[in-house]
Structure 1
Amino acid sequence: MVAEGGSSLAGSARRAQEVVRELMLIAVAITLYFGVRGLITTRVDTAYRNAEDIVALEKSAGVFVEPELQDAVIRHGWLAETFGAIYIYGHWPVLLATLLWLLLRHRDHYRTFRNAMLLSGAIGLVIFAGFPVAPPRFLPGYGFVDTVAERTSAYRVLQPPAFVNQYAAVPSLHFGWNLLMGIAVATLAGHWVIRLFGWLMPALMLAAIVLTANHYLLDGVAGGVLALLSLLVAYRLSRKRLSARKLR
């Protein structure tokens, strides 16, 4: 009985150490991500030219509908505030809560999704540096309105301007990372209500990034594709690690 109790305590201590270690890793990764992103030297004139190119591309494809959609939302103040709240509070609070849930309840899956976030974040930083893009809210000539800045300062608190590259619209990891967490929740949660939240959360975030004029539709597509490709790579690495472990 004493041996079993000692073994149980040792196992709990190891799990606690692993949780602390992973939480520290996440904290360091987030700090580095925003630190590097904020320090990236952006060519502002290039960022605006690239934004105009994206608008032209969307127009040629017949999908430049963001100004009309945002205008329809702004006419209903409560709807604009709702999407602003989703944009602000549906991102980092949801990401961190989901990662913690994965770490505590689905540890093997946690590593896969964590690695997918790290990989997509690293690739995103390279793209931000090489292809700066001004977000829609910086192009009022098209009718865009920065509804988040107009209606709340909460986002500036959660993500201080000193740590943010304002010209990093492409790809939208704001959507891509929510997509990753949505997949995790939709596939691993036990209750159907929570799984439904996993399905709806990325869709609502995609709408929010566009309707608040923080991203173009193509940004969302790019962020989603990058996140999914990173998840595929992370999943294959996880499978290889599992196979190697079984061969030992």
Structure 2
Amino acid sequence: MVAGSDVSVVRALHRNRQIVRELIVIAAAIASYFGVRGLIATRVDVAYRNAETVVSWERSAGLFVEPQLQQAVVDHGWLVEVLGYIYIFGHWPVLLTTLLWLLIRHRDAYRVFRNAMLLSGSIGLVIFALFPVAPPRFLTGYGFADTVTEHTSAYRVLQPPAFVNQYAAVPSLHFGWNLLMGIAVASLGTHWSIRLFGWLMPVLMLTAIVLTANHYIFDGLAGGVIALLSLLAAYRLAGPKVRGGGC
């Protein structure tokens, strides 16, 4: 009986050490991501020219509707506030909570989604450096307004300007990473309400990033594609147990 109890204690300690180690890895990765992103040298004039290029692409595809969409909601104060809260508190709090849930309850799936985030983040950093883009909120000539900053300073607290490259609109990993966590929750949740949250979360975030003028529709599409390709690569690199649905 004593021996069995000792084994349980050893296993619990080992599991706790693994959890702490993974939390340190995630924290270091997040710090490195924002540190490098903030240090990327960006020519502001190039970022604005690239923003006009994105607008031109969207116009060619009939997608440049962001100014009209935002204008339709700015007169509704309560809706603007809801979108701001989704944009701020629906990102990092949701990402970190979901990763911790995966780490504790679905260890194999955690490794896959963690690797997908790391891979997509690395791709994002390369694009930020090669193709800096000013976000819509800076293009006031089109009628955009920075509704998040106008209504709250919370986001600047969660992501201090010193650690943020303001000209890294493309791709939107703000949406891409939420999409990854949404897939995890929708596929692994044990209750319909949890799975529903997984489906709705990325949709709400895509809506928020566009209507708060923090990203173009193109940014969201690019972030989503990069996140999905990274998830596919992470699954391919995983063992057969995970690929076979053992997670």
Aligned to 2:48: 48
C-alpha distance in 2, partners of 1:82/1:242?
37
TM-score by length of 2: 0.97
Aligned to 2:158: 158
C-alpha distance in 1, partners of 2:95/2:209?
16
C-alpha distance in 2, partners of 1:100/1:230?
20
C-alpha distance in 2, partners of 1:163/1:17?
29
**Displacement after TM superposition at 1:242 (Å):** 6.5
Aligned to 2:131: 131
C-alpha distance in 2, partners of 1:222/1:56?
16
C-alpha distance in 1, partners of 2:239/2:219?
30
**Displacement after TM superposition at 1:146 (Å):** 0.3
Does residue 28 (structure 1) correspond to residue 41 (structure 2)? The answer is: no
CA deviations 1:43-91 (Å, max 9, x no partner) are 1111000000000111111110000000001011111111010000000
Aligned to 2:230: 230
CA deviations 1:108-165 (Å, max 9, x no partner) are 1000000000000011001000000000000000010000010000000000000000
C-alpha distance in 1, partners of 2:193/2:203?
16
Alignment of 1:61-80 (within 5 A): 61-80=61-80
Q: Which amino acid aligns with 2:114?
A: R
Does residue 95 (structure 1) correspond to residue 95 (structure 2)? The answer is: yes
Q: Given the superposition, is the C-alpha separation of residues 16 and 202 from structure 1 closer, same or farther in structure 2, using an over 3 Å criterion?
A: same
Aligned to 1:246: none
Q: Which amino acid aligns with 2:5?
A: G
Q: Which amino acid aligns with 1:115?
A: N
Matched residues, number: 243
Identity of aligned residues (%): 74
C-alpha distance in 2, partners of 1:237/1:53?
35
TM-score by length of 1: 0.96
Aligned to 1:212: 212
Tell me the C-alpha RMSD between the 2 structures. 1.1
**Displacement after TM superposition at 1:239 (Å):** 2.8
C-alpha distance in 2, partners of 1:240/1:78?
48
C-alpha distance in 1, partners of 2:127/2:232?
19
Q: Which amino acid aligns with 2:28?
A: V
Alignment of 1:169-208 (within 5 A): 169-208=169-208
C-alpha distance in 2, partners of 1:223/1:239?
26
Aligned to 1:239: 239
Question: What stretches of structure 2 of length at least 5 have no aligned partner?
Answer: none
Q: Which amino acid aligns with 1:212?
A: T
Aligned to 2:81: 81
2:112/2:235 contact within 8 Å kept? yes
C-alpha distance in 2, partners of 1:124/1:157?
22
Q: Given the superposition, is the C-alpha separation of residues 242 and 141 from structure 1 closer, same or farther in structure 2, using an over 3 Å criterion?
A: closer
**Displacement after TM superposition at 1:2 (Å):** 1.5
**Displacement after TM superposition at 1:241 (Å):** 8.1
2:108/2:242 contact within 8 Å kept? no
Aligned to 2:7: 7
